[in-house]
Chain A
Amino acid sequence: MPETHPAHAHQFETPEQQYEVSTLGMWAFLVTEIMFFGGLFAGFIVYVTFYAQGFAEGSRHLDITLGTVNTLVLLGSSLTMAMAVHSAQLGRRSRLLIFLALTLALGLVFLGIKGVEYSHKFHEHLVPGPSFRFDSALAQNVQLFFSFYFAMTGMHALHMIVGAGLLIWLMVGTARGRFSTEYFTPVEVTGLYWHFVDIVWIFLFPTLYLVARHQ
């Protein structure tokens, strides 16, 4: 076996083993994330069944345009992330840096638009809690809808912020020449994470914005 790569950790026999371990580790972690969000989805499904009308009413107050734009933004960021991983595989440092930066930018655009949506909701008194106001017999159910809306999109946004942090860390690593065709595992593993966060949104968007509003 040739001399060990600086990134080769002592517990591994070969770099291949280390790579496989890292990717399996990320997949296992993503399974836990599915269960985590799954709990929220389960709760939402229970209540949208009980309170179809109230949830439809609440859903209609979501900005479907901004939601759609955000979906396209995130899909775009997954594309740039995939390009980043590809660049890393090929050892193309500058392209890697560019695609990581683009992914980060798109991610920040997503978070920005989410921030705009949240501020709209705040001004419309639709944030659950003491400031919530909704004139209708269904007010209670609408508040419940928005509780789930904020919990689910909030959790998702938190995961995006972590993702943004990871992207910055990768960009720093790239600039320092840490990655090469022999070793780009962190890029790949971050890619898996980023795609997952995207997929969660692919489920969140129809659930909260599209399906619930039709009753």
Chain B
Amino acid sequence: MFQGMRFLPEQASTVASKVDALFFFLVGVTVFFSTLIFACVIVFALRYRRRSEAERPAAIHGSTLLEIIWSVIPLAIALTIFAWGATLYIHLTRPPQSSIEIFVVARQWMWKFQHPGGQRELNELHIPVGRPVKVTMTSEDVIHSFFVPAFRVKMDVLPGKYTTAWFEAVKPGQYHLFCAEYCGTSHSQMGGWVHVMEPAEYERWLAGDKPGESMAAAGERLYQRLGCQACHLKEGSGRAPSLVGIYGKPVQLATGQKVIADDGYVRESILNPQAKLVTGYPPIMPTFKGLVNEEQLTQLLAYIKSLRLEEKAQAQ
């Protein structure tokens, strides 16, 4: 029962110590004010205890000055905590450009991981120490939540859209992965492990794990099998816009709006093509709902993203 017991969680990511700093500041504030109040209550209860039933207490109505003081000081402390938490939070929501991109598909009751190189994992995630990792996640059914306590990271995983989180591990080891949004019968069994490895070991693991095709290559294979290239010609002269270099760029829609062609846009356009139609093109793209699952969608996404790199490479 006492084995492995801790009172403090491990700090295994770059942000863990930062989050803990704020956490312990809050503990300090809590201890301070609780002690203050407890002490006052106890001291007053003893010092002013009723000695006779005929006692008449002091006729004190209040003190506006005190009210101001004990409103302003807590407000100042509260706003300090707010600013600290908000700043750190913004950092938590901005994955570095150099992040390794891992795709996660959650479903009742398991976690499926796809590495860019095509390696797939079930309920386990191998990552290298010292490099930022960004997870792009979606669910096949209900809302789940990706939670690694040692990294201080948590993000809900929803059906029908992508959510992301990022982390950079600082210590090799094995860390719990939990599902943190109640998702049905086996919610508490929907756990796993994040294995953080030294870089060399990680490279060995990548190579050793079934040298299949990369995600982008799988995506390209799908792209051709499904016939996308028939309309989406690379030069842009086909019935559909070229997809080379569109990822991450603004797109003009038929309704006049402009949107960024991000992960969610690409996924939505495959499943519901008329939702955000590009201007100047007829609404003839069929829907691929039911013909591709979430993992295949992420592979197509990886391929389309890779077309951006190609363009850059060509320009160089």
Contact = CB atoms under 8 A, between A and B. Distances in A.
10 contacts: A52-B255, A53-B255, A53-B274, A137-B272, A137-B273, A137-B274, A137-B283, A137-B287, A138-B274, A215-B255
A215 B272 CA distance: 19
Contacts of A137: 272-274, 283, 287
Contacts of A138: 274
Interface hub of A52, A137, A138 (most chain B Cβ within 10 A): A137
Contacts of A53: 255, 274
A53 B272 CA distance: 13
Interface of A: 52-53, 137-138, 215
B90 to A, nearest CB: 26
A138 B272 CA distance: 9
A214 to B, nearest CB: 13
Interface residues of B, number: 6
Contacts, number: 10
Contacts of B273: 137
Interface in B278-312: 283, 287
A109 to B, nearest CB: 40
A137 B272 CA distance: 8
Contacts of B287: 137
Interface hub of B255, B273, B274, B283 (most chain A Cβ within 10 A): B274
Contacts of B283: 137
A56 B214 CA distance: 43
A50 to B, nearest CB: 9
Contacts of B272: 137
B2 to A, nearest CB: 51
A53 B283 CA distance: 13
A213 to B, nearest CB: 15
A215 B283 CA distance: 17
Nearest first, the 7 closest Cβ-Cβ pairs linking A and B are A137-B274, A138-B274, A137-B283, A137-B287, A52-B255, A137-B273, A53-B255
B181 to A, nearest CB: 22
Interface string B257-272: 0000000000000001
A148 to B, nearest CB: 19
B92 to A, nearest CB: 27
A137 B287 CA distance: 9
Given A52-B255, A137-B274, A138-B274, 7 more contacts: A53-B255, A53-B274, A137-B272, A137-B273, A137-B283, A137-B287, A215-B255
Interface string B177-208: 00000000000000000000000000000000
A155 to B, nearest CB: 27
Contacts of B274: 53, 137-138
A138 B287 CA distance: 12
Contacts of A215: 255
Contacts of B255: 52-53, 215
A3 B255 CA distance: 72
A53 B273 CA distance: 13
Nearest to B274: A137
B23 to A, nearest CB: 35
A138 B274 CA distance: 8
Interface string B226-245: 00000000000000000000
A138 B273 CA distance: 10
B162 to A, nearest CB: 17
Nearest to A136: B274
Nearest to A50: B275
Nearest to B285: A137
A132 B146 CA distance: 37
A17 B126 CA distance: 74
Nearest to A52: B255
A215 B277 CA distance: 15
A53 B274 CA distance: 10
A52 B274 CA distance: 12
A53 B254 CA distance: 11
Nearest to B283: A137
A215 B253 CA distance: 14
Interface in B72-98: none
Nearest to A215: B255
A215 B287 CA distance: 23
A171 B273 CA distance: 58
A138 B283 CA distance: 12
A174 B283 CA distance: 63
A129 to B, nearest CB: 20
A215 B273 CA distance: 19
B314 to A, nearest CB: 35
Interface string B55-70: 0000000000000000
